[in-house]
Structure 1
Amino acid sequence: MPIKNRFSELLPEITAWRRDLHEHPELLFDTHRTSGIVAGKLREFGCDEVVTGIGRTGVVGVIKGRSDASGKVMGLRADMDALPIEEATGLDYASKTEGKMHACGHDGHTAMLLGAAKYLAETRNFDGTCVVIFQPAEEGGGGGREMVEDGLMERFGIQEVYGMHNWPGQPLGSFAIRPGAFFAATDVFDIVVEGRGGHAAKPQEVVDTTIAASQIVLSLQTIASRNVDPVEQIVVSVTSFETDSKAFNVIPQRAVLRGTVRTLDGGVQDLAERRLKEIAERTAEVFGAKASVTYQRNYPVMANTPEETVFAAEVARQVAGACEEAPLVMGGEDFAFMLNAKPGAYILVGNGDSAAVHHPEYNFDDDVIPAGCSWWAELVETRMPRAAG
């Protein structure tokens, strides 16, 4: 296939970009080096417009086709940020920054979209406008929300938007997608349990926060097992349990629980928030303690729109010969903010038999690059075909 062959030719160059980004990971909105490299390459490719500072450190490139009779404008988005993880791959291009690593493949996503941008700016074999979007702070910072609130869609006239993520365990270069709810809403909570501390040898004189907090941890699991319809998806996880005592003979005055709730339905999300507060507060009361709950809704459910999902799958079949149905994912993805603003779709591309994302031994497989770049380019040329002659 001509497009895929072109990206096979570009593979060494794109791989070099990717590995350079891997060596220099940056977190959240602090993607100054990465954003600078992206903006520089987009200008080098001859993009019609390159804008920096959208959503703080986001970068946008505009590529116009040879004609614009269709009036269509498509957005293609890649994320740029890394994770606060110490790399353990032993690669010769491993992270040079202690405690930071590209453990989710955003270096690969950025490199693939840059590769597609180079091809599209070179050929312009489409009728309309392609907007390439490089987003910071996907890993918990809400960079997608920041770019949308900064006027991304309106400023560039984007009518539909597409995203892609590599997926370990899925065959290398294969694709998978699903319509509707795909990635979960990611809420977070803090529960502060206040009691009356004292000597561990005199438990009758204290209000033991460790007992109350432990019972809260266990009782929160009944939200999934006894409050939510068994056919619905929900995860309630307490991920941190801290007290204000470090001594072996002191019962602490205060305990703090932190965790996350993942849901794929608004009604289930509402129920989970209400029950979490009720369970925490009333369980604490049983033990004579007091619980205060802070509940924050973070990323919303990421849902693909039907027509755009069918189209994205058709293009994936053009590139790879097949496109499977993806599983529901209880992880979050802030591309949800862009899909809430405009119709579009998000697809998974296989990273083969690699370590899982967010693991210190994870590495993006560069052999994915031709498939990923081809999907981006085919999206544009198929959705906005240029008239013959």
Structure 2
Amino acid sequence: MNPNQSFSERIENLQLCVIIPTYNNHKTLSRVIDGVLQYTKNIIVVNDGSTDTTDEILESYHQIEVIKIGKNKGKGNALRQGFNKAKHLNYQYALTIDSDGQHYPTDIPVFLDNLESSEMEVLLIGNRNMNQHGIPKKSSFGNKFSNFWFWFETGISLEDTQSGFRLYPLKSIPKRFYTNKFEFEIEVIVRSAWNGVEVKNIPINILYDPQERVTHFRPFKDFTRISILNTILVFIALLHIKPRNFIRSFKKKSFKDFIREDILSSTDSTLKTASSIALGVFIGIAPFWGFQTLIVLALAAYFRLNKILAFTFSNISIPPLIPFVIWGSLETGSFFVSNPVKFNLETLVNFQELQKHIVQYLIGSLVFATVMGFLFGVGSYLLLSLWKKTRK
């Protein structure tokens, strides 16, 4: 940051605009626009079907862009329209501020400072003090509820995920969205985080004036929509995002680096490391087809084991080892069923043949998985104990 630059010059250099979505906030709209004009004229106001005097107010501002939507379609849609307009005007960043007067435009420099000092693409969310006097308890509860699910879906811990005072990197957020109402602000930060964008809070001030503030949040309908969205996002996170991230992190390392960093030099205890390996081997052999990654990550998180180790060793059933896994499962299962089948090449290549002896395979694979998990766990525990002893 150049200390001799004005705020407007900094904003121009960053190619940043301010988007103000509004719907029937005529009491506070002028104050918000005038406050933003103190810093920049790069303003896009999205009039989302207002039926009050919003049109008359906006007619007096000739230096700003106005998007008029004939019928109210929701805040998410208004933001999407604003983003599209900003991209068309070649802006790189969009700062969104609510028109109900709860945000102070004087906090714009805080966003500029954090954006200019960031070393990677970042999405900034204003962190309101939800414990201050006058803030409704339902708002505080809703924010905590949203924070929890955002953490569960992304692994990122934030104090405020519902603030509308935000800065978006337009080229790094998703190009397509699927929501149009209040839940859009959840979708965009979750999916941006999944894309590798840093999402973080910055401190802002807030004003809750019940005489002026107009909220269009419908507790039952919007909370239901948000809950449905979070349910979908959780499934996507568990079935795709988290396994994808583990696979990507594993691929970045050579086998030699993995042994040195994740096993030999791990800060975990020997017992925890061995238990993580044992869990991975068990899940990798057990007949949890298609769900092995999900199950091993969930169990590793539940038992607080090393997720990378557990995931890595769950891949023991990779194609070159599948014949040995099937052989071990069938041979083990032969001790528990009558008329057992013996392993041969036809059993391996003919799935219908394997189906005829599915009970033998299922029982055998569970027992075989338990035995191999135990052996790998005990073996790794002894080897790691010996290695640490020799290091001393």
The structure with more helix, counted as a fraction of residues: 2
TM-score normalised by the chain length of structure 1: 0.22
The structure with more strand, counted as a fraction of residues: 1
TM-score normalised by the chain length of structure 2: 0.22
Structure whose alpha-carbon radius of gyration is higher = 2
